Amino acid sequence: MDFTEFATICSRLEDVPGRIDMTSIVRDVLEAADEPDLPVLIRFLMGRIFPDWSQEKIGIGPNHVYDAVAYVAGKDRDAVVREVNTAGDPGRAVEHLLARKEQTSFFTTPLTLGEVYGDFVVIARTEGSRSQKEKLRVVRRLFGNASPLEGRYLARLMLGELRIGIGEGTMRDAVAGAFGVSAELVEHAYQAANDLGEVALLARKGPDALAAVQVELFRPVKMMLAKQGTIAAMLEETEYLAAEYKYDGTRFQFHKKDGVCRMYSRKLEEVTDAIPDVVAMLAAATSHDIILDGEVIAVKDGRPLPFQYVLRRFRRKHDVASHIEEISLVPNVFDIIWIDGETLIDLPFEERRKRLEKAVEDFVAPQLVSGDAGEIEAFYRGALEEGHEGIMIKVPSSGYTPGVRGKDWIKIKPAVDTIDLAVIGAEWGEGRRANLFGSFLLACIHEGELIPVSKVATGFSDDMLAEAYELLKDKVISSKGKTVYFEPEVVFEVGYAEIQKSPNYEGGYALRFPRLIRIRDDKGVDEVESLALIKERFARQSST
Ligand code: AMP
């Protein structure tokens, strides 16, 4: 497929408001696509470049894009930045600049989808001292060969902000429609394979190929997630429940095969080298090839330390050894996803638990199985007394559903309402905060797009403000007066008193008295609260 065709499809999709129409356009495009283009086409349409399980990152920030476009358009960099700030979107800005390009190159070659992807791979894999120069050279070549419309989508793809609104749900339905298979099968295969591109190739082969998909070693699956709820409501639906402590640490997924071990964070980034002590503990705890799910906590004198201690270790790239002594980490394993070639996600939780207890000798999180509310509440109080965050209650008959925040895992913790939102903008601070960002614009997710729902300016210690600045300063895409907009990559956990309806934000809701609880750099922006769940929270609070 030519890249110009891809750009035209994107621009058509951008003008279509409804999900149904979008799904049918994408379905037709997928049906007509050549097989080799299919995986890349699917990922690109969702604004992604590599499979969700992949460790590869393109590593291109706004600065690379602006430098390259300045060069190609024969402008200076400031002119590019001014154009981005006026357009409020780097894609449109690049499009305008390429349309007014001063010197037209005689030797442009049309780009194909496959070549663009190939160049992205080259950019992602370029390492070493000359890497920035080399990356820039490839980015320039891409923009040099791009039409203005292609430039719009090249820039947005590189910056991870395609803005055409194709989320996982739309793509799942389009794949199902294009190849005549059920959306449930596509969803299930996606949960195991963690790449809709590959799933589409299987869907094309037919339902049997989709149903046969397995989890693969060293391709992390998304973590199963939890909702808020109550013990009483859960016991109304389920005769008995499994309860575990809710550890306040950092999620991990441990993969081991033939003695090779890898550890992944909640964002599915490999963290093996940052926590070799935990890797060694888990490796020694089982003789099997295995994939385990759990939470690492920091412990001192037998009591858990706050979550920040663990994050500090997860972030370490250098000098790991000296930090092992300072903070000792302990894994708590609560699920098993795969063992010795067998994918276990469809087994009921109680069966998985048996397999887990048989296969792993140590570090398995204690569990209470009970149908008695009083007994579960006592377990909850015990968890708090021991310094844990609360408990998780899980439906014993439920499968492991990667990436799903469903009704099968419920978190019970003391009543502080908090919500995870993406940081999409900020205002420069004043006074003591003059060279830092002072107030942050936050967004929830709705059908693959980030929708503003609140601002937060309180709850920050000086350290947290400095940390937020460090994390965000290179992510500025555009600015308007005192406001800047970011490439969305950072997640804040925010406390609030209430959710209100509000015309001030696009999502129609706002938080009352928002305050920062913590910077969640263990979470990715695709994991932030959805608009649907915010509506649910609003409904729940109005009914109590
Ligand atoms: P939250 O981050 O508040 O949505 O709570 C869900 C998170 O709690 C999970 O993603 C895990 O990181 C963590 N967690 C701690 N203990 C457990 C447990 N026993 N089972 C599942 N998740 C747990």
Q: What is the pLDDT of residues 459-491, one digit of tens each?
A: 998 888 999 999 999 889 888 888 999 989 999
- Residue 9 CA to residue 414 CA, distance in Å, equals 48
Q: What percent of the chain has pLDDT over 70?
A: 96
Whose CA is closest to atom 4 on ligand 1? 226
- Is residue 353 lining ligand 1, measured as CB closer than 6 Å? no
Whose CA is closest to atom 16 on ligand 1? 246
* Maximum average pLDDT range among 55-59, 292-296, 301-305, 513-517: 292-296
Q: pLDDT tens digits for 167-177?
A: 899 999 999 99
Q: Contact 488/449 with Cβ under 8 angstroms?
A: no
- Is residue 334 lining ligand 1, measured as CB closer than 6 Å? yes
Q: pLDDT category, 326, cuts 50, 70, 90?
A: low
Q: Contact 190/179 with Cβ under 8 angstroms?
A: no
Q: List C-alpha distances in Å: 220 to 111, 213, 300, 399, 402.
A: 32, 14, 30, 17, 10
Q: pLDDT tens digits for 287-301?
A: 999 999 999 999 988
pTM, to two decimals: 0.84
Atom of ligand 1 nearest to the CA of 413: 3
User: Is residue 223 predicted with pLDDT exceeding 90?
Assistant: yes
> Which has more confidence, 308 or 451?
451
Q: Contact 373/230 with Cβ under 8 angstroms?
A: no
* pLDDT at residue 108 in the model: 77
Q: pLDDT category, 233, cuts 50, 70, 90?
A: very high
Q: Which of 320, 539, 307, 505 is nearest to 421 (CA)?
A: 505
Angle, alpha carbons 502-507-511 (nearest 5°): 50
User: Is residue 278 predicted with pLDDT exceeding 80?
Assistant: yes
* pLDDT at residue 100 in the model: 87
Going from the Cα of 345 to the center of ligand 1, the distance in angstroms, rounded, reads 18
Beta bridge partners of 228: 411
Q: Contact 49/142 with Cβ under 8 angstroms?
A: no
Q: pLDDT category, 522, cuts 50, 70, 90?
A: confident
- Across the chain, mean pLDDT equals 92
Q: List C-alpha distances in Å: 533 to 122, 187, 538.
A: 39, 20, 8
Beta bridge partners of 225: 405
Residue 423 phi/psi, 5-degree rounding, is -90, 115
Going from the Cα of 246 to the center of ligand 1, the distance in angstroms, rounded, reads 6
* pLDDT at residue 213 in the model: 96
- Residue 222 CA to residue 402 CA, distance in Å, equals 5
Tracing tokens 């330390």 back to the chain, one arrives at 305
Q: How many Cβ atoms from other residues are within 10 Å of residue 276's Cβ?
A: 16
User: Is residue 59 predicted with pLDDT exceeding 80?
Assistant: yes
Q: For residue 136, give every residue at least 6 positions away whose Cβ sits within 8 Å of its Cβ, in sequence order, or none.
A: 64, 67, 68
Going from the Cα of 127 to the center of ligand 1, the distance in angstroms, rounded, reads 35
Using a 10 angstrom Cβ sphere, with 0-12 exposed, 13-18 middle and 19 or more buried, the burial of residue 270 is middle
Mutate to test the pocket of ligand 1, among 221, 224, 295 (most ligand atoms within 8 A of CB): 295
* Averaged pLDDT, 339-364: 98
- Is residue 391 lining ligand 1, measured as CB closer than 6 Å? no
Going from the Cα of 58 to the center of ligand 1, the distance in angstroms, rounded, reads 30
Q: List C-alpha distances in Å: 217 to 185, 192, 335, 341, 358.
A: 21, 11, 16, 9, 20
Q: pLDDT tens digits for 393-443?
A: 999 999 999 999 899 999 998 876 789 999 999 999 888 788 899 899 999
User: Is residue 544 predicted with pLDDT exceeding 60?
Assistant: no
Whose CA is closest to atom 23 on ligand 1? 246
* Averaged pLDDT, 78-96: 93
Tracing tokens 């799933």 back to the chain, one arrives at 199
* pLDDT at residue 322 in the model: 63
* pLDDT at residue 542 in the model: 64
- Residue 91 CA to residue 98 CA, distance in Å, equals 11
Atom of ligand 1 nearest to the CA of 394: 20
Q: Catalytic site residues?
A: 246
Going from the Cα of 247 to the center of ligand 1, the distance in angstroms, rounded, reads 7
Q: Which of 31-40, 67-76, 249-258, 503-512 has the lowest mean pLDDT?
A: 503-512
User: Is residue 210 predicted with pLDDT exceeding 80?
Assistant: yes
Atom of ligand 1 nearest to the CA of 523: 2
Q: pLDDT tens digits for 105-157?
A: 556 789 999 999 999 999 999 988 788 889 999 999 999 999 999 999 999 99
